[in-house]
Structure 1
Amino acid sequence: MQGNTDCCFCSGNDWFRYRVGAIIISGEYALFAYSEVDKYYYSVGGGVHVGEHSRDAVLRETMEETGLELEIERPLCIVENFFYGTGSLDGLNCHALELYYLMKPAEKKEITVSSFTANGMVEKMRWLPISRLDDYDIRPKTAVRLAKEPPVGFEVFVNEER
């Protein structure tokens, strides 16, 4: 049975989250989310709810954040993401387990849906040119690699930013 609670917890200064990410490509562009508070880009996606299948979570999150009814092409990888929190997670020692899915190609159009982070901050969706992804602050850095060259087979990556 699925609940509405994210698989996330905080214990002292330690923060953990189970998250899904969507790699969404349209021609020479990839879609990323941006938070004015955190001041960096990240993949469209979010927390998996307790009891929710990851495939259902990525479809739910992409719909909530973009208003687009996208389809999954295939699972890409798991990223073990270690970082020190900034912005809304300032001061926290963070560990996120992120399961990424490649979505079927989407039509590049302006996303006007109002989307919010887990902390209630407004986030905007932006199409970024794949050839210039290194020019943007995208976190985790592994997301840049996934958009530029999605792995052929399922892989496990460790993103260490502590």
Structure 2
Amino acid sequence: MQKRIIRPIVICIFSNQDSILVAEGFDSMKGDYFYRPIGGGIEFGESSTDALIREITEEINQEIKNLSYLGAVENIFTFNGDNGHEIVMVYDAAFIDQSLYHIESFEGIEDGGEKIKLFWKPLNDFTERRLRLVPEGLITLIQNKMI
């Protein structure tokens, strides 16, 4: 993680009935699991929608449709002892391949080649704080979308 840089990123909410698709993360310094929708960094000169399409292709080799902008969240956090600051563009979209909605979990690949595990998790696990969704404030955007 680069220090003293505000990083623009884009993430996507994929909904499946009462669940959303999230990657599981672990902060070894805090001993804490967390969940985040998939996406990644926006490169210089790249629009957030182009970055989202690229990241989904890179991470899980899938195509998406029906992109809809939900809003932005500022995320100031500590992960594995390092401070981070992100501006997170949040979208809603759908997978073209409908079979993904029938798989409980599957793997993807992060930029560095690290495997990530993706799960469909019930939204109420996050609203009732049984699981932690990041970035903070994301749950409000999701709930506003579902109203």
Provide TM-score, normalisation by structure 2: 0.77
For residues 35 and 60 of structure 2, the distance between their equivalents in structure 1, rounded to whole angstroms, comes to 15
Inter-partner Cα distance in structure 2 for 1:113 and 1:124: 5
- Does the 8 A contact of 1:72 with 1:101 survive in 2? no
Q: Cα deviation per residue 1:19-59 (whole Å; 9 max; x = unaligned)?
A: 00101101111001113456311121100112111111111
Inter-partner Cα distance in structure 2 for 1:68 and 1:147: 22
Say whether 1:70 aligns with 2:64. yes
How far apart in 2 are the matches of 1:139 and 1:119?
A: 21
Aligned to 1:22: 12
CA offset digits 1:95-139 (Å, max 9, x no partner) = 1011111113774133534312x5654321110011222311111
* Cα displacement string for residues 52-74 of structure 1 (whole angstroms, at most 9, x for unaligned residues): 11111111212322333111331
SS at match of 1:150: helix
Considering only aligned residues, what root-mean-square deviation do their CA atoms show, in Å? Answer: 2.6
Kindly tell me: are residues 35 and 121 of structure 1, through their superposed partners in 2, closer, same or farther at Cα, counting changes over 3 Å? Answer: farther
1:146–1:68 distance in 2 versus 1, CA, 3 Å: farther
Query: What is the aligned partner in structure 1 of residue 42 from structure 2?
Result: 48
Of residues 94, 111, 118, the one that matches 1:104 is: 94
Alignment of 1:1-162 (within 5 A): 9-10=2-3, 14-36=4-26, 39-83=33-77, 85-87=78-80, 90-92=81-83, 94-104=84-94, 107=98, 108-110=101-103, 111-116=105-110, 118=111, 121-133=114-126, 134-150=129-145
Structure 2: segments with no counterpart, 5+ residues: none
Identity, % of aligned positions: 23
In 1, distance between residues paired with 2:17 and 2:95?
A: 8
The 1:125/1:72 distance shift into structure 2, 3 A limit, reads same
Does structure 1 conserve the Cα–Cα contact (< 8 Å) formed by 2:73 and 2:88? yes
Is the 8 Å Cα contact of residues 81 and 96 (structure 1) preserved in structure 2?
yes
Equivalenced residues, count: 137
**What runs of 5+ residues in structure 1 fail to find an aligned partner?**
1-7, 153-162
* Whole-Å separation in 2 of the counterparts to 1:147 and 1:66: 22
Q: Aligned AA for 2:125?
A: R
